[in-house]
Amino acid sequence: MKRWKVLSIGLLAVVVGSAVAMAEEQSFGQLLDQLLPGMGAEKIPDRQSPQQTFQNACYQVSRPGQEAQRAAACKLIAERLGPETAKPARVWLLKQLEFIGRGECVDAVARLLGDKDPEIRDCARRALQNNPAPEANARLLAALEGAQGLNWRVALINSLGCRRDLKSVGRLALLLTEKDPAIVAATVNALGKIGASEAIKSAFMGPGLRKTEPAARVEAINAHLEKLPPALCCRIADAYFRCIDRLIKEGKTRQAADIFSQFDAYKLPRPARLAALQGMLRADSGRAAPIIIAMLGSQDKDSREIAAGFITSVSGPNAMKAFAEAMPKLPPAGQILLLAGLAAKGDKAAMPVVLAAIKSDKPEVELAAFRALARLGDVSVVPLLIQTMFSDNPAAGHAKASLELVHGPGADEAIIAAMQAEQDPGRRGTLIDVLNKRKTIGAAPALLKETQSENAGVRGKAIGALANIGEPKDVPALIKMLLATKKGGQRDQIERAIWFISKRIGDPQQRANPVLPALAGASEADLCALLPLVGRIGGKKALEAVKPQLASKNPKLQEAAVRALSNWPDASVAGDLLNIAKNPHNDNEHIWALRAYIRVISMRESNPNKDTLKKFDEVMKLATRDEERNLVLSRASVIRDVATLRWVLPYLDEPALATQASRAVVELAHHRNLMQPNHDEFMAALKKVTQVCKDKGIVARAKRYMEGL
């Protein structure tokens, strides 16, 4: 193996190091002779290096502008295709000719079509299939004449189809009368690739093609089709359809549509019949509307769905008129599909059709019409949607969903105006929900007014909506509202809204900017309310505002500052939190700081590692309550290391901590790349979990991991 690696480097330098050297036939021949034994080696690993080296050389000689070198190289390869060359090497040489061979090697490769070895024969066939020389097609045709065996004949037919040479049509057409369905199927597939529509047409129509009277022709064709196996009939139809598709690509859409329409009279298997319908619609979208309407009215579900899929491609000024006239005449299933298709088309001209369908006495059609308005509607349908949304109509929910999606100039403004004019608090709140779902930024001023509503439900919905659609410029008004609101649920909701708005500011260091000005000159009570919020938002400027209050002699401000650090969104304050936990003013500060410290050091962004494990160990010593110790254990599994497993194990013996310790063990065992190298340790730990843990779910997981599941 090493010898071939050295040889590949040295010989490849000779071959690819110089374009002049590569042009010399002798150099390529020497390389080929040197590599040939290795390419034919008995063991596959021993072949890889010489084969790759030779393939690289073939790529080099086949580069543009080196036609003489390529032809010379192919001749040299062809000379070594005989049985004196080991089979693996012959296979590899043929694979190279498959990509770089031309007329110079056709004869040598064609001789191998009669080789005794099936693999050699097949490699030779592939090489000729991909050879652009016309004589390669002739050799494949010649081989087909005396070919024996079903699989070999089918393979040769497939190769001729892949070449797409019109000279193959005459010989292939003769095979259409074969009795073996596999031969006929392969032949029509090949003819379809070539585009020999007349030949396939004869196979499709059979003896009926000679009939002159249309009625007699259809009868004879159907008699012929009924004799064919359904699968073969579908293969023939598919090949014929591909030929017709070429007419579409050539712009002969009317001709293609006319041919496709003829298939309606034939007794085709269902898949072929549906494919013909698709072809007819695809061929001439300008004339498709009447066909689609007829199919939508069909009792056949597949036909209806195929028709619906083509509604979006229908063109022409009269199409929408035809759909409008047909709508009330269609069965409900057809009307629903038509409405869905018109909605997907997105043509506002369909609005009259949809609005008419809303008045349908069929509930399912009415629902489909409201769904369609979500795509087609504009400001003109807003009153209708609002009216329906507040009615007892079964479509009320769909009307609301459409109102949340309907777009166009003036739609937002119309909904805002309707909300402001609504007197009923429940309905007013529902319209606020709609504005929230639409993320109507322009509604912020109106929503700010609604936060002053006497109705608590309306106030709550307005604050919730501002959390989603409010902008930094709205924060001062929300802060003013926050400071004027008593402690409780609504004050917490306002704080959450400010936090959500701040989070939408891209730069984390700028997120506190809308809030910080409110700290200047704020009273003690206001500072106590704002500092925890500032801490939740975070950033360097926020930290600069909070830290001085940690040293305040005012216990309330000092406590508010500790709460601020305990709310911090990242680990930048980990050191401060640990210091507070070690030196608290009271038990509450110790608990807040310690729990926050556990949270931030185990964040994914903090990249927990063995150093984090040391910090966890320190926390376990600092903690005075099992709640905090359990919190540490619940976070331990973020450190995916066997050292974590060893650290957790002793806590399995402490009843108050055993459940969280057990959970940490099974979470670590979940990672196979950690468990497998430390299998014995994990098996012992999991066994202990099954013995001490009281949580049945955790025990079940431990047993699964022990069983290797």
Q: Which token pair is 572?
A: 């930048």
Q: Is 652 exposed, middle or buried (0-12, 13-18, 19+ CB in 10 A)?
A: buried
CA angle 235–274–223, rounded 5-degree value: 60
**pTM value?**
0.66
Q: Of 691, 670, 692, 694, which Cα lies nearest the Cα of 682?
A: 670
pLDDT number for residue 368: 93
CA–CA separation, 691 and 709 (whole Å): 19
Range picked from 165-169, 262-266, 487-491, 648-652 for highest mean pLDDT: 648-652
CA–CA separation, 92 and 373 (whole Å): 63
Whether the predicted pLDDT of 222 surpasses 90: no
- The residue to which tokens 């708005």 are assigned: 501
Q: Which amino acid, one-letter code, is at 532?
A: P
**3-class state of residue 693 by DSSP:** coil
Q: What would the mean pLDDT of 489-500 be, rounded to a whole number?
A: 92
pLDDT number for residue 677: 92
CA–CA separation, 686 and 666 (whole Å): 7
pLDDT number for residue 20: 40
Q: Which amino acid, one-letter code, is at 260?
A: F
CA–CA separation, 141 and 134 (whole Å): 11
- The residue to which tokens 């399995």 are assigned: 652
From residue 14, how far is each of 74, 87, 258 by CA, in Å? 19, 27, 64
From residue 127, how far is each of 12, 41, 130, 172 by CA, in Å? 25, 22, 5, 20
Q: What would the mean pLDDT of 14-31 be, rounded to a whole number?
A: 57
**Least confident residue range of 129-143, 212-226, 470-484:** 212-226
Whether the predicted pLDDT of 606 surpasses 70: yes
What confidence category does residue 193 fall into, taking pLDDT thresholds of 50, 70 and 90? confident
Whether the predicted pLDDT of 617 surpasses 60: yes
Cα dihedral: 505, 509, 513, 519 (round 10): 140
Task: Decide: 402 and 377 in contact? Cβ < 8 Å.
Answer: yes
CA–CA separation, 191 and 168 (whole Å): 9
CA–CA separation, 463 and 457 (whole Å): 10
pLDDT number for residue 236: 82
Task: Decide: 289 and 273 in contact? Cβ < 8 Å.
Answer: no
pLDDT number for residue 77: 96
CA–CA separation, 568 and 597 (whole Å): 10
Cβ atoms < 10 Å from Cβ of 134: 12
Whether the predicted pLDDT of 9 surpasses 50: no
Q: What would the mean pLDDT of 567-576 be, rounded to a whole number?
A: 93
Q: What is the pLDDT of residues 415-429, one digit of tens each?
A: 999 999 999 999 999
Q: Between these two residues, 510 and 276, which has the higher pLDDT value?
A: 510
Q: What is the pLDDT of residues 650-678, one digit of tens each?
A: 999 999 999 999 999 999 999 999 999 99
Task: Decide: 12 and 27 in contact? Cβ < 8 Å.
Answer: no
pLDDT number for residue 11: 41
Whether the predicted pLDDT of 285 surpasses 90: no
Whether the predicted pLDDT of 276 surpasses 50: yes
pLDDT number for residue 8: 43
Q: What is the pLDDT of residues 81-124, one digit of tens each?
A: 999 999 999 999 999 999 999 999 999 999 999 999 999 999 99
CA angle 454–459–465, rounded 5-degree value: 160
Could you tell me where the DSSP H helices lie in 130-229? 134-145, 150-163, 169-174, 181-194, 197-205, 214-227
Mean pLDDT of the chain: 89
| % the chain with pLDDT above 90 | 68
Whether the predicted pLDDT of 15 surpasses 90: no
**3-class state of residue 37 by DSSP:** helix
**Phi, psi dihedrals of residue 195, rounded to the nearest 5°:** 95, 25
Q: What is the pLDDT of residues 286-336, one digit of tens each?
A: 678 888 888 899 888 888 888 888 888 887 678 888 888 999 999 999 999
Whether the predicted pLDDT of 18 surpasses 60: no
**Least confident residue range of 117-126, 203-212, 261-270, 395-404:** 203-212
Q: Which amino acid, one-letter code, is at 611?
A: D
Q: Which amino acid, one-letter code, is at 40?
A: G
Specify the DSSP class assigned to residue 268. Answer: -
pLDDT number for residue 284: 73
pLDDT number for residue 214: 62
Cβ atoms < 10 Å from Cβ of 677: 10
CA–CA separation, 688 and 669 (whole Å): 13
Whether the predicted pLDDT of 5 surpasses 50: no
Cβ atoms < 10 Å from Cβ of 226: 10
**Least confident residue range of 203-217, 225-239, 260-274:** 203-217
Task: Decide: 349 and 315 in contact? Cβ < 8 Å.
Answer: no
pLDDT number for residue 210: 52
